[in-house]
Amino acid sequence: MSSAESAGVAPGRARLTGMRLLVVGAGTRSDPDFPAPPGNGRAIAVLAAREGAAVACADMDTAAANATVGLIEQERGRAFAMTADVADPAQCTNMVAEAHRSLGGLDGLVLNVGIGLGLRLDGTSATDWDQVFAVNLRAHFLACRAALPLLADDGAIVFVGSVAGLRPGSDSPAYDASKAALFGLCRQVSREGAPRNVRANLVVPGLIDTPMGRGASARRPRREETSRRVPLRRQGTAWEVAYATVFLLSGESSYITAQPLVVDGGLTTL
């Protein structure tokens, strides 16, 4: 049974009022299906704005970032678009500084970027490995290194990972390894942020119905068969990932840090 929250139509509750937030990976890749579901980053940005945050929407695809801003503005939220390729260290660092300057400060950071290249060990080149780690892990390190001194006290960082970091699941060793490494990076960021009450946590999505998820599922059995693997008998939505993220950004999670929050319908435990 779906809820207003899982469908992305529940009204805001002012949970992030006054927060200045940078969402990295706030666009959504194009999808031939219509109407296409949003990606996790777009849902996070839209929901955060609905909950009262001013949002810097960063993506390497300018049009995708602008489209997310358009959705936010339709709801009379506050947002602006930024273009950055997080595989480029300079762009990654400058993105954080620009968001801080344009927002007049920074209270939160969401890192929702990831790619998967290579198929199994024998189909993964060293170049594939390095490119995946540049986007899936190095970018997160660089963004956190730049953001931590700028974040206001009591700020929050949320990494968006994958259940592929908990168990094999993608057939891409670089993807699985990079997502597993996010747990360690999250713990280190949490430790360094703790003296100023800056928290860092990790949302761990499972099978989510997004354009990227549909692309991955195309290499596997039909979506209906995939859903039957999940104890709750369906794929999740990007909005359900977004609500978990908003919780970890908000004061509702003020005593939670260095923790994974798994959003997978019971897939990895049941």
pLDDT at 218 over 80: no
Q: What are the tens digits of pLDDT across the range 34-58?
A: 577 999 999 999 999 999 999 999 9
pLDDT of residue 36: 77
Range scoring the smallest mean pLDDT among 105-114, 160-169, 214-223, 238-247 = 214-223
Is the pLDDT at 1 greater than 70? The verdict is: no
Using the predicted structure, report yes or no on whether residue 220 has a pLDDT greater than 80: no
Whether 146 shows a pLDDT value over 70: the answer reads yes
CB contact at 8 A, 73 and 39:
no
Mean pLDDT of 130-155: 98
Between the alpha carbon of residue 129 and those of residues 116, 137, 214, 216, the distances in Å are 9, 11, 23, 18
222-240 tens-digit pLDDT:
556 667 889 999 999 999 9
> Where do the domains of the chain lie, and which CATH numbers do they carry?
19-263 (3.40.50.720)
Q: Is 175 considered catalytic here? A: yes
Q: What's the pLDDT score for residue 228?
A: 81
The model's confidence at residue 221, banded by pLDDT at 50, 70 and 90, is low
Query: Which residue is catalytic, options 129, 159, 175, 239?
Result: 175
Q: Which residues pair with 109 in a beta bridge?
A: 22, 157
- Amino acid 222: pLDDT: 58
Q: How confident is the model at residue 244 (pLDDT cuts 50, 70, 90)?
A: very high
Q: Tell me: the pLDDT tens digits for 54-81?
A: 999 999 999 999 999 999 999 999 999 9
**In this predicted model, what pLDDT tens digit does every residue of 88-140 receive, in sequence order?**
999 999 999 999 999 999 999 999 999 999 999 999 999 999 999 999 999 99
pLDDT at 180: 97
pLDDT, residue 217, reads 57
- 177 pLDDT exceeds 70? yes
Average pLDDT, the chain: 94
Q: What percent of the chain has pLDDT over 70?
A: 94
Q: Work out the pLDDT band at 216, boundaries 50, 70, 90.
A: low
Spatial separation of the C-alpha atoms in residues 114 and 247, rounded to whole Å = 22
112 near 157, Cβ under 8 Å? no
How much is the pLDDT for 29?
77
Q: What global pTM score does this model have?
A: 0.95
